[in-house]
């Protein structure tokens, strides 16, 4: 069984994002970039399926600038077999990503595509769903557990008030939620081994896709600063402030 895992290069989740002075976006100059955390979870899940013997090959794909190769290398060091970089500069919207991924699926014919549920830069949460629609494949989104049995993918999802389990015919699209697994750190020998694993470089044109920009970002701003708290002298004072200052009771 072959699995395709799309991973996005995003601002590292530990970095405090700075907004550009003109409010046109997040300042990415000299900022640490890493694999989207939900993508790490997707790679980890694919590697665990390979370790169980369910999966024979894991292909990682990233759409982005040349440096997205590093993101692919990280996935190869975690245990993926080979990578595809679709090189392009500038922003790429979920619909274009989904169209490019459809091109990769048509060429690679995987049995499963495991994506992150969202990329933490734009928080779109759209690509997996769009890819499933373009391919007309079943989708199991926000997976917190995945089992492959008798040619079906059993996907457990956390929903309000309980768990829902879907049985999907394959090929299928799965998107990963936070609790699916805890991704491993790549060991030094595996980082060295990953240097020899192949990465193919393609362009959007190779898949007949022209990534167009349909969304216009009007402005980006920092969240309002939190004001300092105060210590009240008595319950009466607290109630008075809640009633007359905050107006919440
Ligand atoms: P989004 O819909 O942008 O929140 O992204 C959801 C998922 O789609 C991500 O976790 C990735 O698996 C995949 N994805 C989005 N953008 C890219 C990209 N540029 N390259 C590879 N995969 C991507």
Q: What pLDDT digit, counting tens, does each position of 135-174 carry? A: 999 999 999 999 999 889 999 999 998 999 999 999 999 9
Other CB atoms within a 10 A radius of the CB of residue 240 amount to 12
Percent over 70 (pLDDT), the chain: 100
Closest atom of ligand 1 relative to the 126 alpha carbon: 2
If pLDDT is split at 50, 70 and 90, which confidence band does 246 have? confident
Cα(6) to centroid(ligand 1), Å = 6
Domains of the chain, start order: 2-224 (3.40.50.620)
End-to-end CA distance of the chain: 59
Q: Among candidates 204, 201, 200, 191, which has minimal Cα distance to 75?
A: 191
Tokens 């007359």 map to which residue? Answer: 244
Residue 176, helix vs strand vs coil: strand
DSSP string for 213-232: ---------PPPPPPPP---
If pLDDT is split at 50, 70 and 90, which confidence band does 58 have? very high
The residue whose CA is least distant from atom 8 of ligand 1 is: 127
Cα(128) to centroid(ligand 1), Å = 8
Q: What pLDDT digit, counting tens, does each position of 198-218 carry? A: 999 999 999 999 998 998 889
Distances (CA, A) of 175 to 22, 28, 153, 172: 35, 27, 12, 10
Average pLDDT score, the chain: 96
d(CA 130, CA 97): 9
Within 8 A by CB and 6+ apart from 242, the residues are 248, 249
Among 45, 84, 115, say which to mutate for ligand 1: greatest number of ligand atoms within 8 Å of CB.
115
Residue 249's pLDDT is: 87
Cα(34) to centroid(ligand 1), Å = 13
Q: What pLDDT digit, counting tens, does each position of 69-113 carry? A: 999 999 999 999 999 999 999 889 999 999 999 999 999 999 999
């Amino acid at each position: 069984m072959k699995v395709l895992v799309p991973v996005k290069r995003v601002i590292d989740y530990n970095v405090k994002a700075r907004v550009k002075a003109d409010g046109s976006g997040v300042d990415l100059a000299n900022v640490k970039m890493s694999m989207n955390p939900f993508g790490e979870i997707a790679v980890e899940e694919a590697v665990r399926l390979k370790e169980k013997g369910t999966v024979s090959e894991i292909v990682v794909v990233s759409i982005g600038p040349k440096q997205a190769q590093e993101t692919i290398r990280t996935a190869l060091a975690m245990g993926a077999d080979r990578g595809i970089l679709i090189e392009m500069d500038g922003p790429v919207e979920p619909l274009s990503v989904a169209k490019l991924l459809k091109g990769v699926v048509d060429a690679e014919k995987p049995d499963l595509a495991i994506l992150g549920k969202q990329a933490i830069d734009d928080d779109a949460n759209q690509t997996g769903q769009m890819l499933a629609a373009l391919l007309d494949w079943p989708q199991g989104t926000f997976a917190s557990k995945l089992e492959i049995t008798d040619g079906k993918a059993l996907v457990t999802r956390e929903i309000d008030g309980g768990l829902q389990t879907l049985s999907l015919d394959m090929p299928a699209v799965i998107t990963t939620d936070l609790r699916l697994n805890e991704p491993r750190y790549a060991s030094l020998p595996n980082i060295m081994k990953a240097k020899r694993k192949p990465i193919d470089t393609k362009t959007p044109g190779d898949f007949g896709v022209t990534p167009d920009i349909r969304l216009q970002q009007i402005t980006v701003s920092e969240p309002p600063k939190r004001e300092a708290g105060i210590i009240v002298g008595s319950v009466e004072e607290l109630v008075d402030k809640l009633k007359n200052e905050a107006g919440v009771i």
